[in-house]
Amino acid sequence: MLQRDNRYSARQAAGGDKSRQPSDGFLSVRNLVKRYGSHTALADISLDIRAGELVCLLGPSGCGKTTLLRAIAGLERQDAGAIVLCGRDISHAPPQERDYGILFQSYALFPNLTLAQNVAYGLSGKRAHRRHVQARVEEMLTLVGLAGSADKYPGQISGGQQQRVALARALAPSPSLLLLDEPMSALDARVREHLRIELRALQKRLSITTLMVTHDQEEAMVMADRIAVMNGGVIEQFGTPRELYRQPGSAFIADFVGEANWLPFERIDSHRARVGRHELAVDAALQTGTGKLFVRPEAVRVSAAPAGDRVNAMLADVLDGVFLGRGYRLALRLEGVPGATVHSIVSPETGDALLGPHAASRCWVELPRHAIRAYA
Nearer to other proteins, 171 or 330 (CB): 171
Q: Is 255 helix (H, G, I), strand (E, B) or coil?
A: helix
Distance of closest approach, residue 80 Cβ to other proteins, in angstroms:
16
Sheet holding 234-239, edge to edge: 100-103, 177-181, 209-214, 54-58, 226-231, 234-239
Q: Judged by CB, which is closer to other proteins: 51, or 331?
A: 51
DSSP 216: -
Ranges within 111-130 binding other proteins (CB under 8 A): 111-113, 121-125, 128-129
Stretch that binds other proteins, among 60-68, 89-97, 328-336, 344-352 (CB under 8 A): 89-97
Taking the C-alpha atoms of residue 216 and residue 185, their distance in angstroms, rounded to an integer, is: 9
Indicate whether 108 belongs to the interface with other proteins (CB under 8 A).
yes
- The least CB distance from residue 376 to other proteins, in Å, is 41
Residue of 37, 155, 289, 338 that binds other proteins (CB under 8 A): 155
Region 157-186 residues binding other proteins, contact defined as CB under 8 A = 157, 166, 169-176, 179
Contact with other proteins (CB under 8 A): which of 25, 59, 64, 74? Answer: 74
Choice from 15, 22, 94, 348 touching other proteins (CB under 8 A): 94
Cβ-based nearer residue to other proteins, 78 or 217: 78
78: buried, middle or exposed (CB in 10 Å: 19+, 13-18, 0-12)?
buried
Q: What is the DSSP string of 236-283?
A: EEEE-HHHHHHS-SSHHHHHHSS--EEEEEEEEETTEEEETTEEEE-S
Instruction: Please tell me the distance from the alpha carbon of residue 282 to that of residue 312, in angstroms, as a whole number.
Output: 9
d(C-alpha 263, C-alpha 247), whole Å? 17
What's the rounded Cα separation, in Å, for the pair 59 and 57?
Answer: 7
CB of residue 200 to other proteins, shortest distance in Å:
15
Binding track, positions 32-71, relative to other proteins; x by CB under 8 A = -------------------xx-------------------
C-alpha closest to that of 294 among 324, 257, 330, 269: 257
Tell me the C-alpha distance between 115 and 165, whole Å: 7
Closer residue to other proteins in complex, CB, 20/205: 205
Among 132, 277, 362, 370, binds other proteins (CB under 8 A): 132
Q: What's the closest the beta carbon of residue 362 comes to other proteins, in angstroms?
A: 48
Q: Helix, strand, or coil here: 333?
A: strand
| Number of residues engaging other proteins in binding (CB under 8 A) | 59
Residue 23, class by beta-carbon neighbours within 10 Å (0-12 exposed, 13-18 middle, 19+ buried)?
exposed
| Bridging pattern class, strands 177-181 and 209-214 | parallel
**Considering only residues 175-234, where is the footprint of other proteins by CB under 8 A?**
175-176, 179, 205-209
Interface contacts to other proteins, rule CB under 8 A: 26, 51-52, 73-75, 77, 86, 93-98, 100-102, 104, 106, 108, 110-113, 121-125, 128-129, 132-133, 136, 139-140, 142-143, 152-157, 166, 169-176, 179, 205-209
